[in-house]
Amino acid sequence: MKKLVSFVQGSIDELTTNVSWPKWSELQSSSALVLFASIIFAIVIGLIDFAFKNVLQSIY
């Protein structure tokens, strides 16, 4: 149990003192970039799916 408590205390210390957290504005811009890329990726996958569906329906 002592090792677990020591590990948790060390982890908390590491997160509060040694980790450099991004600023709120950086976090927002990164999130917007991920959202935009996800939407573009979903549209591309949807178009590929639509094309395959139509091609396969015309063959079969």
Buried b / exposed e over 20-48, threshold 16 CB at 10 Å, is: eeeeeeeeeeeeeeeeeeeeeeeeeeeee
Long-range contacts of 48-56 (CB under 8 A, 24+ apart): none
Task: Give the model confidence (pLDDT) of 4-59 as tens digits.
Answer: 999 999 999 999 999 998 999 999 999 999 999 999 999 999 999 999 999 999 99
Cβ neighbourhood burial of 11 (10 Å; 0-12, 13-18, 19+): exposed
End-to-end Cα separation, the chain, in angstroms: 65
Confidence (pLDDT) at 24: 94
- Whether pTM exceeds 0.85: no
